[in-house]
Amino acid sequence: MAIKTKCPVCGGEVSLPDDVMAGEVVEHDCGVTLEVVIENNIVKVKPLEGVGEDWGE
């Protein structure tokens, strides 16, 4: 049985496997990259925040 949640960008349904872990990255049908967040045993997804490049400046 999959875990179902909503995409915070388009509102579409996102299906995740039962064994999903916090920090996993998933692609959604709308093209956005989502990060799995687990708070108080509730699985949610949020848009993945890109890691900026560090040029050592």
User: Angle at Cα 18 formed by Cα 48 and Cα 21, nearest 5°?
Assistant: 40
Domain assignment present for 53: no
Instruction: Assign residue 28 the CATH number of its domain.
Output: 2.20.28
Domain assignment present for 54: no
C-alpha dist (Å) from residue 16 to 26, 28, 31: 9, 11, 16
Domain assignment present for 56: no
Domain extent at residue 42: 3-47
pLDDT string in tens for the chain (57-residue length): 789 999 999 999 999 999 999 999 999 999 999 999 999 999 999 999 876 566 665
How many separate domains does the chain show?
Answer: 1
Q: Which pLDDT belongs to residue 39?
A: 94
pTM to 2 decimal places: 0.79
Domain assignment present for 7: yes
Instruction: Identify the helix (H) or strand (E) that includes residue 14.
Output: strand 13-16
